[in-house]
Amino acid sequence: MNVTIVDYNSGNISSVINSFKEVAKKKVKIEVTSDLNKIKSSDKVVLPGQGSFKSCVEALKKINGLTETLNEFATTYKKPLLGICVGLQMFADIGYEETETKGLGWISGKVSKIDNKNGRFKLPHIGWNQINIVKESKIFQNIENNSHMYFVHSYEFVPNDKNVISATTDYSSNIVCSVEKENIFGTQFHPEKSDKIGLTLIQNFLNLK
């Protein structure tokens, strides 16, 4: 099995690469690239994202044909894709970080700033927080409800269809921290920074049929 981690110059993704390689051992080939043909021929794709919604979308678009290739992979061929942090946020139609920016439009919704209740909650939301698993999901197999995951974000994904939400976390309000729509999975938290539980989630993604 070939799994591609998309490298589109969106910040340091070394911990994502290391975690996937640790879990994959020698059974799964992990490729880190933005080569369109390698992405097309992959069995699964991981879309990381660090920085702002706007900068990540712009970085994707800078690589000729990349958004079209990812779109085809996720929505035409419907192969498993995992978005992490801003990688998940880009699934939305639109984001409001820095300026209004169009997203990939795979899961209808918007990305807006977390309501910090007039400064009562610090932004960015950094550190460990419990997740509330709200629907059965293949990527949460063998992960207990109220497990702790690691977060770093100031913006949240608000999907139009609440049925895509697989987990939430409580920080100033109920924030969506995991979504699932058919073959498309996304986590707002960083599984690669979430210790053994995060590695279990990565293993679950690699195990998807």
Catalytic residues: 85, 190, 192
Q: Left if phi > 0, otherwise alpha if psi is -120 to 50, otherwise beta: which for 118?
A: left
| CA–CA separation, 123 and 156 (whole Å) | 12
| CA–CA separation, 99 and 53 (whole Å) | 9
Task: Name the DSSP class of 51.
Answer: S
Tell me the HSE value of 154 on the side-chain side, using a 13 A CA sphere: 12
DSSP-assigned states of every residue in 59-112 = HHHHSTTHHHHHHIIIIIS---EEEETHHHHTTSSEE-SSS-EE---SS-EEEE
Q: Left if phi > 0, otherwise alpha if psi is -120 to 50, otherwise beta: which for 26?
A: alpha
Reading the block at residue 74, the tokens are 């996720």
